[in-house]
Structure 1
């Protein structure tokens, strides 16, 4: 097709594919906002849920929530062992796990085809289909076959070594890894969130990964910082706030953190988030002798995270090494804390520890030991004012430098340019 002289080329179109309703997915929000600001036409396709609007215009991009079609009725869905089930399963649970995971895999493949068709009715073409996680990768590949474009796989985790995937019986985990390898090699580019993850993915898939860390966009920390938790919870002026922000699930050290706060004077723990163990952990905390000093609040929108994080005195992230994925984890809340100037207490694990040591932004701990978590918290809260100020400045300096969002955005835009979809106007 020959365009008339002076005709303006349309901006490249990008579709981010999410397996969630896009309420608290801060990484996808940063990616979409950054791409929209660079001039791309951005659509975020998320799962429709309850009374959420099917279409929204936010921050320069479009959100489309598409209902996930029901799986074929002829495939049974037996109950699977819970995430908290013992690591060594009994014979009945083993059979349920093996058979159930097999049927679940078949359901997923068929469901992915149906879901891709449903999405294709709403978004027929794109220059870039970006899969935000393993579940949406086959969707992106199917949509590329239907409407052209390129596929980017954003592997936020070492998926086969995370969550329920890590609990699969060996043969099924091998099959899933083999299937993922084929999907990844069929994609046009691979993204991930950290160097430790990139090392594993590059060895597994035999292709280079571009690292776009989950860092925080520039945010001006007020002086003095906000006191949102004190206002929300009616705390006294001398009470110190320890924040856990994120998914309330197993192996995040939340139980140990609840125990640890009882060993720290004049301090309260606030758990802000969502997840399968939210009510379980809240009930456990309510039975502790110091229950009055533990508060559970719902998750907050991505754009509200900096102000809430800056309202805390310490941000705690005692992730436990339950899987390889956890060992190598560099949680978003680490970079949220840096951007907000809030010192961190973090696990002494290969994912986080090198960053903490390099930047001096906090104190490391044994995430399985409540007493050691308490020690690390006290090391910050009870430090002289000039030491606490050094922690704060170390956080802010890191966020202004290599652990800020601008270097990540530049890498993302450079990758898109190599895929033939440069930012309009040549930026990136």
Structure 2
């Protein structure tokens, strides 16, 4: 099949999109991805092609209202502009007020550009990643008479909201998601928690789970694990609602253990963060993160429980730790905690409680041999090889339906 994927990211750093596209290409499908701001020097996997649909928010020429500086390179639409120095109260208020319009304008501009890009392409299926591409995906699928696959990377209606509340917009989005998702030939999502929420909310019975797992084995496997952890690493976006403040506070109570945050940062948030004894590093390639995790011995898999999506989420960080072979110290929040307990992958702490986090780190150090053995035992079930079979099975059924 010729598969057209739609995603409003740079693609290059979107591990779920790249992994799914590469898997489908390896299974014999031709995949083209329309992304946004894709780096010109990035090489997609074999059998996959990529293009950029660009288009700026109407607010892009007035970034002072949104924070005073340019948005981070490759940031998706709606990313707050980075401030130049501390943000004055009036700018903070303007940013809070205007962000919903900024996001909506940016999504609309991308949609117009992506529609033009898709017009002359040949495709037998449309794969829409996340709600912000779903309307266009459904439109293209109807026009060509081809199946639509909706890939929900999160519970869209339950995700963290930055900026002023928009309850009418949220209700409208939920209605549209329910209607268009019902039209889709298949719905994919990242974990059983989100899958059950979608089934319960919309009555969908065509939801399959494809976790954000990693292929087994790592280029960093030659890096030996320590006999006892020397530190703990948070590898992911450094931004609000990810328990970063709790990590910093807990680090003060963990003398002798190096605590590191590594990943892309929300510059507004990072500029106001009291980092204490915690080291902050920029984003690293996946294999380099593997090596860092293995050298230090523990992965911090943290997020708040403030938003429904957080309570249902299965963070990439969890599966990255499994691939690296290291135990986790994770937030005791619903789906994340369930999987950690089910497989014995590490220890848990109460969200927002730095003393509980420090105690969980110390417990993980004491139980380290047991926990590392559990991680090794769980890897076959929590690896991409398992989830790839689900993905290719969905497309095999779509192909069979078209030839029946």
Q: TM (normalized to structure 1)?
A: 0.78
SS in structure 2 of the partner of residue 352 of structure 1: helix
SS in structure 2 of the partner of residue 44 of structure 1: strand
Gap runs ≥5 in structure 2:
68-78, 81-91
Alignment of 1:154-303 (within 5 A): 154-164=151-161, 168-208=165-205, 209-220=207-218, 222=221, 224-225=223-224, 240-277=230-267, 280-281=269-270, 284-286=273-275, 288=276, 291=277, 294-302=278-286
**Using a 3 Å threshold, how does the CA distance of structure 1 residues 311 and 34 change in structure 2: closer, same or farther?**
farther
SS in structure 2 of the partner of residue 299 of structure 1: coil
Q: TM (normalized to structure 2)?
A: 0.82
Equivalent position to 2:300, from 316, 329, 332:
316
1:420 aligns with 2:399: yes
Give the conservation status (yes or no) of the 8 Å contact 2:314–2:335. Answer: yes
Determine the structure 1 residue equivalent to 2:85.
none
Per the TM alignment, residue 30 of structure 1 is displaced from its structure 2 partner at its CA by 1.6
1:403 aligns with 2:392: no
Equivalent position to 1:346, from 318, 330, 340:
330
| Higher-Rg member (1/2) | 1
| Mapped partners of 2:140, 2:357: distance in 1 | 47
Per the TM alignment, residue 265 of structure 1 is displaced from its structure 2 partner at its CA by 2.1
1:60 aligns with 2:40: no
Give the conservation status (yes or no) of the 8 Å contact 1:340–1:396. Answer: no
Per the TM alignment, residue 109 of structure 1 is displaced from its structure 2 partner at its CA by 7.0
Give the conservation status (yes or no) of the 8 Å contact 1:243–1:315. Answer: yes
Give the conservation status (yes or no) of the 8 Å contact 2:350–2:356. Answer: yes
Gap runs ≥5 in structure 1:
1-11, 84-91, 228-236, 423-428
Equivalent position to 1:22, from 8, 11, 18:
11
Per the TM alignment, residue 352 of structure 1 is displaced from its structure 2 partner at its CA by 0.9
Per the TM alignment, residue 362 of structure 1 is displaced from its structure 2 partner at its CA by 0.2
Determine the structure 2 residue equivalent to 1:152.
149
Determine the structure 2 residue equivalent to 1:87.
none
Determine the structure 2 residue equivalent to 1:119.
117
| Mapped partners of 2:104, 2:146: distance in 1 | 27
Per the TM alignment, residue 173 of structure 1 is displaced from its structure 2 partner at its CA by 1.8
SS in structure 1 of the partner of residue 161 of structure 2: helix
SS in structure 2 of the partner of residue 214 of structure 1: coil
Aligned residues: 377
| Mapped partners of 2:145, 2:287: distance in 1 | 33
Q: RMSD across aligned C-alpha pairs, in angstroms?
A: 3.3
